Chains A and B, each alone.
Chain A
């Protein structure tokens, strides 16, 4: 299986040269052929391509292959089609696509959502799909009126012929347009003529999400459906030696207990019985090689590794020699923990396996793989498997799993039960189930010359590769370097003459995975914090140091200047408050944050204000961008202030929101200000790149106000106490 990756755009663009032709920029209409499902439409419906349907009543349905996990594609992608169609936005709705090559990611070649790529990778495709629909509706109207299509115009769901004063609604034209031939080529609007794109448009999914009617996979119910809860090994890499299900089977409602490769499933008539049954299982585990492992052990191992040479990820100049010549040098260890995604909707999946078919309902970011794995687990062909995509109760990367274990478990249990099964993970199962953002350890050294300029930077990164062993390995792991482990450090935007970054990728049984912003979630913290250390060591203003390292007129410099202006950098603050700054680009977008914090002598931290500046290129829905950035700040702060998964005795210590807390409303900054650069530069992503700057901006502000340097996350009160 060869498959490209859901990784940052930068990594993708860098590595795509090796995967010939997978980056499809010029689209041909062959890729816009209607999908099978679309072709099964009723006759009066006009289905010009896989992405849009016009019903006789004028309703316009936009079909998206992307997952809606909060990031807003359920609205932004329909906006692109409605814009080019001149559709009446009030009549536009959105549907989730079946699995079909028509919905493959235009850059990655599989049906998936990830890497903050949905809008830029669908931008031309969806606009063309809308323009094609419009052209065919205009042709249908013009033919009926006996006029030239070029004399017609469109507005808000109507074709209008000004010369004769005639107008026809899209719905009236649907039947005739359905008989028409698609044009060979269509013109797209000049962006200055956009009526919808670039405006704050209300989300199409808000009403359903405000009435309780939005369907997540956990809400799916099928006739005769049973519910299963599983016991999985308490230590990663362990397995069941033997088990006794008699007490579980005695619980009212428990139907059966089955063993599948990943654990033991209790199948019942509802969640409560399944859960109680699972808790009543008596299991003897073989804990495997991780038994007795701990975070302390891991820290010691990683620290030792960081003192040895790793695989070279970047090498400019001669960092070692430059450090030797430096007027002043600094060395520091930085550490960031395993993190759970902790989506509000715990993992779950519904599967209905029959003799010759398999249906799966899942909130998933990875439909193509899900279908393949479901087929394999069911013993069927992929074309016998139907994946129904639902809303995702949070994704953050957790629902894009290369091994599709969530789906595989449900399919295996349904097959064993001979019935439709909803396999549910408890919150504890979810939090202890792995697939974490890896634990990272960095050793970083920097040198200053006589003028206090940064002359050398050497950074050794230690952490698990989650690409290794997946279909993405061939593409993303080169010469021992997983590009996603070092992104944001090996390719930092700063002009440093001697820059060396290397990587160790120790193998451990703890399953790891991308977590909102992937490698940038740790590299931005380390790079931006250590840069701040060097600035202070040189006696320079942290903003000025960044200015000197980022050329004028570049996008990172642009957001830096904007955040400096909007935050009032350098202006007086109330007593006891400090500011910190961070700038970082990821997923093709450029971000800079300034945090304002105060810290009590006992170490109680308050983040008062976060000022955010960003440049993501042309904007589709500015309100969605604002919401994504507000959310990303809170997501980033939750990790910086609270997030930590640790191991003791081989087991995950944390289990639920009491010991893996999320920031609550009363703990969030009172002010989160978002400033968007009006940009015509290349479009980037928005779902992830708001996360990386949050932690270093706050850590740098803490230093400004306390003189305490934060080198490990989460930030602990004991690291903040000051006189």
Chain B
């Protein structure tokens, strides 16, 4: 049995410890916001946080998450209140939407590490996440917008 804490909730799961975390999240815990895209850490659709670090859950054995705090898109906020989600809505970033959970989770770590990113910082920081619809220009704008919101929130 493995014990995981996902979005603040503890669960015990009896699975192959080599099974990628992605499938535990999606199939055992019903957290389908995290997506399968490539299975090889190439596209970023499966990005989640383990103890605050962005990881590709499609290649991360569930055993690596045991005893740690996992955050998925469902835990980024419960009410779309995260500045990134607010910015995503304000700028209407998604098209098909499939990659967006991963984009948001990658962007959350980027902004935590660099609260005032330049275009180049964003381009480099988000280069691991593919969007086939080509929403990149809006992702970039929305990350800047979220950075502004976060700065405003702090200065209040």
Nearest CB in chain A: distance from B28 CB, A: 8
Asked whether B124 lies within 8 Å of A394 as measured between CB atoms, the reply is: no
In the bound assembly, the distance between CA atoms of A342 and B131 in angstroms comes to: 10
Q: Which residues of B contact A272 (CB under 8 A)?
A: 16, 19-20, 23
Instruction: Report the Cα distance A69→B97, complex, angstroms.
Output: 8
Set of chain B residues within 8 Å of A393, measured between Cβ atoms: 35, 96-98
Given known contacts A213-B33, A427-B38, A665 and B139 CB-to-CB distance under 8 angstroms: yes
A342 to B43, CA, bound (A): 11
Tell me which of B49-57, B72-80, B147-155 binds A.
Answer: B72-80
- B132-A342 in contact (CB<8A): yes
Q: Which residue of A lies closest to B86 (CB)?
A: A210
A380 within 8 A of B: no
Among B19, B73, B97, B122, the residue within 8 A (CB) of A70 is B97
Assess the A344–B92 pair: CB atoms within 8 A.
Answer: no
Q: Is B45 an interface residue (CB 8 A)?
A: yes
Is A377 on the interface with B (CB-CB < 8 A)? no
Chain B nearest CB, measured from A641 CB (Å): 13
A144 vs B45: C-alpha distance when bound (angstroms): 55
Pick the most buried of B73, B98, B139: most chain A CB atoms within 10 A of its CB.
Answer: B98
Q: Which residue of A lies closest to B94 (CB)?
A: A209
Interface pair A211/B97, CB less than 8 Å apart? no
In whole angstroms, how far apart are the Cα atoms of A657 and B23 in the complex? 20
Task: Indicate if A248 sits at the interface (CB-CB under 8 A).
Answer: no
CB distance from A623 to the nearest CB of B (A): 6
* Distance (whole angstroms) from the CB of A427 to the closest CB of chain B: 5
Instruction: Please state if A672 and B94 are interface contacts (CB–CB under 8 Å).
Output: no
Inter-chain CA distance A202–B135, complex, in Å, is 15
Q: Does B138 contact A (CB under 8 A)?
A: yes
Question: In chain B, residues 92-130, which have Cβ atoms closer than 8 Å to a Cβ of chain A?
Answer: 92-101, 104, 119, 122-124, 126-130
Q: B136 contacts A634, CB within 8 Å?
A: yes
Q: Contact string, A655-667, partner B, CB cutoff 8 A, digits 1/0?
A: 0111000111111
A362, chain B: closest CB distance, angstroms: 15
B8 at the interface (CB under 8 A from A): no
Q: Is the CB of B37 within 8 A of A427?
A: yes
**Residue interface mask A379-399, B partner, CB < 8 A = 1:** 000000000000111111000
CB distance from B72 to the nearest CB of A (A): 7
**In the bound complex, do residue B130 and residue A271 qualify as a contact, i.e. CB atoms below 8 Å apart?**
no
Which partner residue on chain B sits nearest A394 by CB separation?
B96
Chain A residues 200-216 with CB under 8 Å of chain B are: 202-203, 205-216
Tell whether A206 pairs with B34 under 8 Å between CB atoms, given A71-B95, A211-B73: no
Known contacts A627-B95, A662-B130, A666-B124, A270 near B33 by CB under 8 Å:
no
Interface of chain B: mostly helix, strand, loop or mixed: loop
Contact A658 B42 (CB under 8 A): yes
How far, in Å, is A216 (CB) from chain B's closest CB?
6
Q: Is the CB of B92 within 8 A of A203?
A: yes
Chain A window 329-357, contacts with chain B (Cβ cutoff 8 Å), 1 for yes, 0 for no: 00000000000001111100000000000
A206 touches B16 (CB 8 A): no
Residue of B nearest to A659 (CB): B42
**Could you tell me if A70 and B96 are in contact, using CB atoms closer than 8 angstroms?**
yes
Across the interface, name the chain B residue whose C-beta is closest to A668: B136
**Which residue of A211, A216, A270, A672 contacts B85 across the interface (Cβ within 8 Å)?**
A211
Please indicate the chain A residues that have their CB under 8 angstroms from the CB of B124 in the complex. Answer: 666
Contact A343 B132 (CB under 8 A): yes
Known contacts A218-B36, A219-B32, A342-B132: A627-B96 contact under CB 8 Å = no
Interface centre among A221, A344, A427 (most CB of B within 10 A): A344
Complex Cα–Cα for A216 and B36 (A): 11
A212→B96 contact, CB < 8 A: no
How far is A191 from B79 in the complex, measured between Cα atoms in Å? 37
B65 to chain A, nearest CB (A): 15
Contacts of A672 in B (CB 8 A): 137
Residue from B97, B126, B138 with most neighbouring chain A CB atoms (10 Å): B97
The reply to whether B89 and A344 form a contact with Cβ atoms under 8 Å apart is: no
Of A209, A215, A346, A656, which one neighbours B40 at CB under 8 angstroms? Answer: A656
Nearest chain A CB to B41 CB, angstrom units: 10
Q: Given A427-B40, A666-B127, A218–B132 Cβ distance below 8 Å? A: no
Cβ contact within 8 Å between A666 and B73:
no
Q: Say whether A668 contacts B132, CB under 8 Å.
A: no
Please, which residues of chain A bring their CB within 8 A of the CB of B101?
212
A633 at the interface (CB under 8 A from B): yes
B101 nearest CB neighbor, chain A only: A212
How near does chain A come to B92, taking the closest CB pair, in angstroms? 5
B96 and A634: CB pair below 8 A? no
Chain B residue at smallest Cβ distance from A431: B38
Assuming the contacts A70-B96, A271-B23, asked whether A210 and B89 have C-beta atoms less than 8 A apart, the reply is yes
Q: A705: shortest Cβ distance to chain B, in Å?
A: 23
B104 / chain A contacts, CB cutoff of 8 Å: 210
Q: How far is the CA of A344 from the CA of B92 in the complex (A)?
A: 19
Cβ distance B27 to chain A, nearest Cβ, rounded Å: 5
B34 touches A212 (CB 8 A): yes
Given contacts A206-B89, A272-B23, A427-B37, contact A630 B94 (CB under 8 A): no
Question: Looking across the interface, which residue of chain B has its beta carbon closest to that of A662?
Answer: B130
CB within 8 Å of B: which A611-658 residues: 623, 627-628, 630-635, 638, 656-658
Besides A346-B36, A391-B96, A635-B134, 9 new A-B residue pairs in contact (Cβ under 8 A), listed by A number: A205-B97, A209-B100, A344-B43, A344-B99, A346-B37, A395-B96, A657-B38, A664-B136, A665-B123
Ordered by A's residue number, 10 sampled pairs between the chains whose C-beta atoms are within 8 Å are A70-B94, A70-B95, A72-B95, A205-B97, A218-B32, A221-B32, A272-B16, A343-B132, A394-B96, A394-B132
Which 8 residue pairs across A and B have the least CB separation, nearest first? A212-B33, A634-B134, A70-B95, A209-B97, A393-B98, A631-B134, A212-B73, A70-B96
- Give the interface of B toward A (CB within 8 A): 16, 19-20, 23, 26-28, 30-40, 42-43, 45, 72-74, 76, 80, 85, 88-89, 92-101, 104, 119, 122-124, 126-140
